[in-house]
Structure 1
Amino acid sequence: MNASTFLTGPLLLLQLCVTTVLSFFARLLDKTFSWTVGACEGPGSDPDVNKASPNAVTPTSVNYHFTRKCNYKCGFCFHTAKTSFVLPLDEAKRGLKLLKDSGMEKINFSGGEPFLHEKGDFLGKLVHYCKQDLQLPSVSIVSNGSMIKEQWFQKYGDHLDILAISCDSFDEATNQLIGRTQGRRSHLDNLYKIQNWCQQYKVAFKINSVINTFNVDEDMTDCIIQLNPVRWKVFQCLLIDGENAGEEALREAERFTISEQQFQDFLDRHSSISCLVPESNEKMRNSYLILDEYMRFLDCRGGRKEPSKSILDVGVSAAIRFSGFDEKMFLKRGGKYVWSKADMKLEW
């Protein structure tokens, strides 16, 4: 064996080792970069941890929770103030345009409390854009009602189809126990005032109620009939790990939960109300297309909210595959209905 042969073996071995190490670090850097690229991904938004749906999904009805901040402290809240992030207006509009181009017909703005950010003006601009620029058949809002002023209706009411106000009880003391209040303000006074404004400014009025330990025995029949909403959505209190249950949660909702039988008893007590739309935990969990503040779809199939990539980074079709959306349950729970106020034939 000559000297050149003796040196070739170790040199090749050294070269192989160096190549292996460089390859390892290249893969590590690539993975790190994939977590930081894209301004709207937010924390933990890697779709590899989700189970993608093999079927194409059309985002017919989308719930956009553009803010998590709220002035109420409802004990069972399952979309809590874990961040204070809100997209810039132009970026939010860009995402809404992507959704419209992908088949969206109805947008619902929620929170948090959507009227809290910029005193409702940010929300109003989104409502105007969706109705006037995107020409969506239906634009709706879910609010606790505490921040709404008549001036908002005067400026933006023409562009809004449905306003849903959350009200869990017609007893002020019960609302206090639940946390649906701010200081000594009357939640019910706001509810009735907003109902009148909806009538005056031609916006369909809706009520959402979460049935829980504190209101499960209440009879709301007379008050609901008096308020006469177009829909009364009645939800069974739902636990979501990391939101209102578990170590990372900002709420502890276990004491608010009720059984299926208790929920059914409440529904039976109010069976005479024709506008009642019940939603048990089974119907609710996977039948909503939910966008968070980063415009990521949230998959609740595992009892948590697992985020997709943002539609602003990867597009709607790529992100929606990780939404966990159950279209059959969406239709079963009555998710598709007459949702444009122009088609409701309401008497104003």
Structure 2
Amino acid sequence: MFSTQAVFWVQLCMSPLQLIYAAVRTLIDVICSQVHGASKLRSTRKGNSATDKLMQKKLTQPATTPSSVNYHFTRQCNYKCGFCFHTAKTSFVLPIEEAKRGLKLLKQSGMEKINFSGGEPFIHKSGEFLGKLVQYCKEDLQLPSVSIVSNGSMVREKWFKKYGEYLDILAISCDSFDEDTNQTIGRAQGTKSHLDNLSKVREWCREYKVAFKINSVINTFNVEEDMRDRITELNPVRWKVFQCLLIDGENAGEDSLREAERFVISEEQFQEFLERHSSISCLVPESNQKMRDSYLILDEYMRFLDCRQGRKDPSKSILDVGVQEAIQFSGFDEKMFLKRGGKYVWSKADMRLEW
């Protein structure tokens, strides 16, 4: 540590140019320290180190248009499906004004369709948070399509009365038409009937003019099931049929909250299920490869998730760096998106449904 006198004599011996240089270096050090401190406050919304290394290279690529985005704004859920690949690892939900800001950024970048998912999207504030976002996207942002994926257990008719007019599509997850199978999978809450909820929601969709859709994950416990009669009876506009997918850190691996390995089926088993149901015209198959490459997924921090390596590698948040910078790390394959039928008639105004 120099004494005050020593510092004085050193400064006296320095030229004016050296003094200016020293002052500038000190100012730079102070600014860098402040920037570093501010960046730490945003650490929960950052991606991994690979994001920074690839940033400049990625930004030279052509811009991707986020025409259809899946926003998993909450990880909380009242079900415990054994193959869930977006588990309750946090309880974080953005303040609604921040969520709206992010949605507006997406709209300005070309988003036409938003799909709200979870977790269970109706669980946060009993569906009010979700309802306000749905209304904002349709009324303020004027998006052609607003949709939701839900397990159906927490949907209430009063929600339809208040927000149904702003919703284009409601997809209900249903993996089996056998209650015991649903219990085995974990798509249940206590002794409540998942299938009774499914039927009620189907009727509300018809009454409040919301297009009804069904999502099914095909796994070891339902792969032999014949669902043709029930799907025909429910008459969804689309029946999404997914192959059970492993995601490291979510439903597989040391840090996961699920052990989905026992649910995994082979490509051959998946194809046999598809062939058995080939007479269902609304069936839309989703193999593992299609799912990994062709979805734009935002997590609860509004970070794009790249699933190509069998895990979820996050970008930085669009709230911090903007959509075009973050989307470069999404792993999104637009050709695969179009090939799997990701672009379809997704506005209920254009579906010409007979309610």
Secondary structure at the counterpart of residue 45 of structure 2: coil
Alignment of 1:243-258 (within 5 A): 243-258=250-265
Q: Percent identity?
A: 76
- Answer whether contact 1:45 1:309 (CA < 8 A) is retained: no
Instruction: Give the 3-state SS of the residue equivalent to 1:329 in structure 2.
Output: helix
Change (3 A) 1:42 1:237: same
Aligned to 2:152: 145
Aligned counterparts, 1:12-91, within 5 A: 33=37, 35-38=39-42, 41=45, 44=48, 47-48=51-52, 52=58, 54-91=61-98
**Rounded Cα–Cα distance in structure 2 between residues aligned with 1:32 and 1:217:** 56
Q: Contact (CA 8 Å) 1:55, 1:321: kept in 2 or not?
A: no
**Displacement of 1:37:** 4.0
State the Cα RMSD in Å: 2.6
SS in 1 for 2:137: helix
- SS where residue 73 of structure 1 aligns? coil
For residue 326 of structure 1, what is the aligned residue in structure 2?
A: 333
- Match for 2:183 among 164, 176, 182? 176
Within 5 A, what are the aligned runs for 1:188-337? 188-337=195-344
Once the two structures are TM-superposed, the CA of residue 240 in structure 1 deviates from its matched residue by 0.5
Whole-angstrom distance in 1 between the partners of 2:275 and 2:114: 31
**Which amino acid in the other structure matches residue 121 of structure 2?**
P
Supply the AA of the counterpart residue of 2:262: R
In the alignment, structure 1 segments of 5+ residues that lack a partner are 1-21
Alignment counterpart, residue 117 of structure 2, candidates 105, 110, 117? 110
2:132 is aligned, of 94, 111, 125, to 125
Which of 340, 343, 348 is matched with 2:347 structurally?
A: 340
Q: CA deviation at 1:38?
A: 3.2
Change (3 A) 1:33 1:304: farther
After superposition, the Cα gap between the structure-2 partners of 1:193 and 1:126, relative to the gap in structure 1 and judged at 3 Å, is same
Residue 325 of structure 1: SS of its match in structure 2? coil
What TM-score does the superposition give when structure 2 sets the normalisation length? Answer: 0.88
AA aligned opposite 1:88: P
Distance 1:278 1:79 in 2: 20
1:30 Cα deviation after fit: 8.1
CA contact (8 A) 2:77 2:118 kept: yes
* Matched-pair contact (CA < 8 Å) for 1:69–1:81: yes
CA–CA separation in structure 2 for the residues paired with 1:39 and 1:129: 28
Change (3 A) 1:322 1:184: same
Q: Is the 8 A contact 1:68 1:112 kept in 2?
A: yes
Q: Write the distance in 2 (CA, Å) between the matches of 1:298 and 1:112.
A: 15
Deviation of 1:36 after TM superposition, in Å, equals: 1.4
* Amino acid of the structure 2 residue aligned with 1:150: E
- The aligned amino acid for 2:339 is K
Aligned length in residues: 334
Which secondary structure does the structure 2 equivalent of 1:109 belong to?
Answer: strand
Q: 1:30 to 1:163 in 2, by over 3 A?
A: same
Work out the CA distance in 2 between the residues paired with 1:326 and 1:43: 20
| Offset, 1:55 | 2.6
After TM superposition, the score normalised by the length of structure 1 is: 0.90
